[in-house]
Amino acid sequence: MKLVLLPGMDGTGELFSSVLKQLQEYDTQVIPLPQSGSQDYPNIITHIKSKLPCYDFILIAESFSGILAAELAKEHLPNLKGIVFVATFLSPPNAALLSVASRLPLKSMLKVPFAKLIQKQLFLGKSASSSLVELFQSILEKLPSQLLSARLKTMQRMSFSSECLDIPCIYIQALSDRLVPPSKYNEFQRYFSNISLVKFEGPHFILQTKPKECANVIISSINLHR
């Protein structure tokens, strides 16, 4: 069983390094999001489908990529055996904040005083290691501003509808997530009849701050299909 990881809004997959260390005994694949071209969900889904393995796999979809995994589930792909949704959503998590953020000079804001403190407050948590903060900062600095803005605008327009799907799913919820409210899990319950909820104390980037605990949940999803 292959584990296919879909990254959050940064799209690089570099932030998966800590959880991948916990999964090093398993067959894993990270599919980065396209770094050019349209950033709308249909285009990204086409990109992902071209990279999927031709044998059984489980999707691990973080944040921005949750709806991508949900859309793939609608296609009833024969090799898709389960999904682990991580701190994610099927509708805009905060429409007002997204509208403002998509108009801000995001790259310039990385250099303002207290930028790292703000990143810890919103994304990484107060106890985030300096190495994680530095990694997060370096990834953001490398991303083109227009790419970030395009993905923020895509999130503003996102919507999902489907018949009820019975694919086995797990939703990992971060209890101190400042970006995704707990009510977003209810959207997944509406569309996925075979879903269970796992809660961890931590910030939005729960895979990065609780890699061992999250890896254990992912491993349990593999064991269900053995």
pLDDT of residue 136: 67
Q: Phi/psi at 201 (nearest 5 deg)? A: -70, 125
For 144-173, give one letter per residue: b (16+ CB within 10 A) or e.
Answer: eeebbbbbbbbbeebebeeeebebbbbbbb
pLDDT of residue 157: 83
φ/ψ region of 116 (left if φ > 0, alpha if ψ in -120 to 50, else beta) reads alpha
The boundaries of the domain holding residue 148 are 2-223
3-state secondary structure of 31: coil
Structure tokens at 215: 């890896």
Pair 15, 205: CB distance under 8 Å: yes
pLDDT of residue 57: 97
Q: What is the CATH number of the domain that holds 175?
A: 3.40.50.1820
What residues in the chain have per-residue pLDDT under 70?
94-139, 141, 224-226
Tell me how far apart the alpha carbons of residues 133 and 110 are, in angstroms, rounded to a whole number: 12
**pLDDT tens digit sequence for 6-64:** 999 888 888 899 999 999 999 999 999 998 888 899 999 999 999 999 999 999 999 99
Longest dimension (CA), the chain: 51
pLDDT of residue 80: 96
Tell me how far apart the alpha carbons of residues 220 and 216 are, in angstroms, rounded to a whole number: 6
**How many CA atoms lie less than 13 Å away from 98 in the CB half-sphere?**
18
pLDDT of residue 105: 44
- Give the predicted TM-score (pTM) of the model: 0.86
- Counting the structural domains of the chain, the total is 1
pLDDT of residue 66: 96
The sheet with strand 57-62 has its strands ordered as 28-30, 2-6, 57-62, 80-86, 169-174, 195-200
pLDDT of residue 218: 95
